């Protein structure tokens, strides 16, 4: 077996060029997700569809993306990460062009699914490419930190780039712009990335049955999380999806136990370090996504901000994560990862808790400061989480292992949005009842009564948001405590060995 050295054997390519290459792909994929939300009003208007119907454009993307993340991760380990990365990138560009040419809702949903399937190849293959490129754990932690920061950058720059594109060139331009940028990314991948795959190259079996059953499980789970609030959590649709998810999960576990080369090796979950890191990752992302989902709603509803102004507010978040991620990576080998993860999670929890003090009199700084604190905490520990996964999982399985990390984040985000959205609605309803019972009206006119009820509703809503952020912060603090339970590891002893082609 050959070791991946700094310059990739005789190619002489600097590692930073390889890192930059995968960052381009990651940034473009995440950028697309954030920009599309801005275009929905224009798509609704052109296709003459309802807001509810347009929601399926996002739902279909989330479903397809969740289903195919572990599949691409496994294929990358078997067939080669570079090959899968380029295939995924190429199909993503094709899907983008088709989405830009969509003529109705059905065609748009189909083309977005194509985009999602292809886009889900990026995370597991990109992380695996970084892991095998940077053999030294300290270097790898720095690289993973910088790469992780591109997620935040895309989330922030999406509105800033998408707004002018939509206003000047129309909504179709946000899809078509992926063609020139994507071609640059593919050319970079062809030029700078060397092929790598699992050490066990003779074992090329792909678990098709397991992939189908896992897809059914993820589809039913994500679908009920996305649509449950609208359907009703105890409605027939929701209960049906619960049952499908439970049955398919049980069946999937049964399938995987009996295979020599399963899609997801269940032994991962016997590794307590891996499981504890995954759990912490899930909790933190659930709290973060649930919080971030509600911030734009709050500032636009109670502070009167428009969509563009809201996008500007989130710019400091990118700064916080991009600053913190490399700093956190520098502690690799110096401090046990669990302490960095615990501290970072606690800091993020403080930022989330500060949101509980928001009210209609809040200023821009009242939003930006908690965002900075939360994003700094998230970025500070992000490299350590990914680096632990890379350190405790064999190199030949890094693709599927990293896909599980991505899958946990995706499902956690769906859980956070679903749970905190429901908590908000329930809290507002309960607050209205309580405030009404303990309030008295002394006015005389219908206008005064209308103002009275409006004030009760306003106070109930503000208290509802506060309740959500307090609960979210508590969950995040629990995640910080649980991080301390992660076992100590000597991360410097891990050496990545992979099969290299070319």
**pLDDT per residue as tens, the chain (502 positions):** 344 444 443 356 788 888 888 888 888 877 777 778 777 778 888 898 876 677 778 777 877 877 787 888 778 877 888 889 999 989 999 999 999 999 998 899 899 989 988 888 887 788 778 877 877 766 776 777 678 767 767 766 777 777 778 878 888 998 998 888 889 989 998 888 878 766 554 455 677 788 888 888 888 887 887 778 778 888 999 999 999 999 999 998 888 887 777 777 777 788 888 888 888 888 878 887 777 777 877 887 788 776 667 767 777 777 787 788 778 777 777 788 888 889 999 999 999 999 989 888 888 889 899 989 988 888 888 777 777 776 777 666 666 677 777 777 777 877 787 788 788 878 878 877 776 666 665 555 666 656 656 667 777 778 888 888 999 899 889 889 888 888 877 655 544 343 333 3
Q: Is 501 a member of any domain?
A: no
Query: Are 98 and 163 contained in the same domain?
Result: yes
What are all long-range contacts of 362-368, with beta carbons under 8 Å and residues at least 24 apart?
362/302, 362/303, 364/313, 367/295, 367/299, 367/313, 368/313, 368/316
pLDDT at 442 (0 to 100): 59
Q: Is 11 a member of any domain?
A: yes
Map residue 305 onto helix, strand or coil: coil
Q: Is 128 a member of any domain?
A: yes
pLDDT at 66 (0 to 100): 75
pLDDT at 214 (0 to 100): 83
CA distance 332 to 419: 34
14's tokens: 């600097």
**Minimal CA–CA distance to 339: which of 473, 475, 481?**
481
Query: Are 237 and 321 contained in the same domain?
Result: no
Q: Is 414 a member of any domain?
A: yes
Q: Give how many domains the chain has, as a whole number.
A: 3
Query: Are 287 and 408 contained in the same domain?
Result: yes
Query: Are 354 and 291 contained in the same domain?
Result: yes
Give me the half-sphere count of Cα atoms (radius 13 Å) on the Cβ side of residue 222. 25
pLDDT at 308 (0 to 100): 66
**Minimal CA–CA distance to 252: which of 278, 215, 282?**
215
**3-state DSSP: the chain helix, strand, coil percent, rounded to 5?**
80, 0, 20
Question: What is the number of residues in the chain?
Answer: 502
Q: List the CATH number of the domain containing 101.
A: 1.20.1250.20
pLDDT at 351 (0 to 100): 93
Query: Are 315 and 441 contained in the same domain?
Result: yes
User: Which of 160, 185, 201 is at the close of a domain?
Assistant: 201
Query: Are 213 and 276 contained in the same domain?
Result: no
Query: Are 246 and 354 contained in the same domain?
Result: no
CA distance 301 to 309: 13
Q: Is 449 a member of any domain?
A: yes
Query: Are 166 and 241 contained in the same domain?
Result: no
CA distance 250 to 40: 37
Query: Are 245 and 286 contained in the same domain?
Result: no
- Is 338 within 8 Å of 483 (Cβ atoms)? yes
Query: Are 179 and 243 contained in the same domain?
Result: no
CA distance 400 to 75: 8
The bridge status of strand 195-197 relative to strand 499-501 is antiparallel
Q: Is 263 a member of any domain?
A: no
Range of the domain at 249: 208-258
Q: Is 119 a member of any domain?
A: yes
Query: Are 118 and 216 contained in the same domain?
Result: no
pLDDT at 439 (0 to 100): 60
Instruction: Give the CA distances from residue 329 to residues 144, 166, 325, 326, in Å, rounded to whole numbers and listed in that order.
Output: 8, 37, 6, 5
pLDDT at 9 (0 to 100): 38
Q: Is 502 a member of any domain?
A: no
- Is 418 within 8 Å of 295 (Cβ atoms)? no
CA distance 53 to 105: 8
pLDDT at 114 (0 to 100): 92
Return the residue matching tokens 């998810």: 245
pLDDT at 437 (0 to 100): 67
Phi, psi of 171, deg, nearest 5: -65, -25
In this prediction the pTM is 0.72
Query: Are 185 and 238 contained in the same domain?
Result: no
Cβ-proximal residues to 83 (8 Å cutoff; 6+ apart), any chain: 76, 195
pLDDT at 266 (0 to 100): 78
């Amino acid at each position: 077996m050959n070791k991946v050295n700094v310059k990739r054997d005789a190619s002489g390519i600097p590692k930073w060029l390889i890192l930059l290459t995968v960052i381009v792909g990651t940034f473009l994929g995440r950028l697309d997700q954030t920009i599309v939300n801005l275009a929905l009003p224009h798509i609704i208007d052109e296709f003459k569809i309802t807001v509810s119907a347009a929601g399926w454009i996002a739902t279909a993307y989330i479903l397809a993306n969740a289903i195919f993340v572990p599949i691409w991760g496994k294929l990358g380990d078997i067939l080669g990460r570079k090959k899968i990365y380029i295939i995924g990138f190429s199909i993503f560009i094709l899907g983008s062009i088709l989405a830009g040419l969509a003529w109705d809702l059905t065609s748009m949903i189909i083309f977005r699914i194509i985009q999602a399937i292809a886009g889900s190849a990026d995370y597991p293959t990109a992380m695996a490419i970084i892991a095998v490129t940077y053999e030294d754990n300290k270097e790898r932690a720095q690289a993973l930190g910088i790469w992780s920061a591109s997620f935040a950058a895309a989330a922030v720059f999406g509105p800033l780039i998408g707004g002018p594109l939509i206003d000047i060139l129309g909504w179709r331009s946000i899809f078509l712009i992926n063609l020139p940028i994507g071609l640059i990314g593919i050319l970079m991948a062809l030029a700078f990335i060397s092929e790598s795959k699992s050490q066990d190259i003779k074992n090329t079996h792909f678990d098709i049955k397991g992939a189908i059953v896992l897809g059914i499980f993820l589809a039913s789970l994500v679908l009920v999380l996305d649509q449950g609030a609208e359907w009703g959590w105890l409605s027939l649709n929701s209960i049906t999806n619960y049952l499908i998810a439970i049955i398919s999960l049980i069946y999937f576990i049964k399938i995987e136990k009996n295979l020599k080369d399963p899609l997801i090796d269940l032994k991962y979950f016997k590794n307590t370090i891996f499981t504890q890191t995954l759990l912490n990752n899930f909790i933190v992302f659930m709290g973060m996504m649930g919080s971030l989902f509600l911030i734009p709603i709050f500032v636009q509803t109670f502070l009167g901000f428009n969509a563009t102004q809201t996008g500007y507010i989130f710019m400091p978040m990118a700064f916080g994560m991009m600053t913190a991620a490399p700093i956190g990576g520098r502690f690799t080998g110096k401090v046990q990862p669990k302490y960095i993860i615990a501290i970072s999670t606690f800091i993020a929890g403080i930022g989330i808790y500060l949101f509980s003090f928001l009210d209609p009199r809040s200023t821009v700084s009242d939003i930006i400061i908690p965002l900075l604190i939360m994003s700094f905490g998230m970025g500070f520990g992000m490299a350590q989480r990914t680096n632990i996964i890379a350190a405790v999982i064999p190199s030949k399985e890094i693709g599927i292992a990293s896909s599980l990390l991505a899958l946990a984040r995706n499902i956690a985000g769906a859980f956070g949005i679903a749970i905190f959205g429901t908590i908000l609605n329930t809290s507002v309803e309960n607050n209205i009842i309580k405030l009404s019972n303990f309030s008295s009206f002394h006015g005389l006119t219908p206008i005064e009564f209308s103002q009275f009820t409006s004030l009760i509703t306003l106070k109930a809503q503000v208290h509802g948001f506060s309740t959500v952020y307090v609960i979210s912060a508590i969950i995040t603090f629990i995640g910080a405590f649980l991080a301390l339970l992660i076992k100590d590891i000597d991360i410097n002893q891990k050496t990545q060995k992979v099969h290299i082609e070319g």
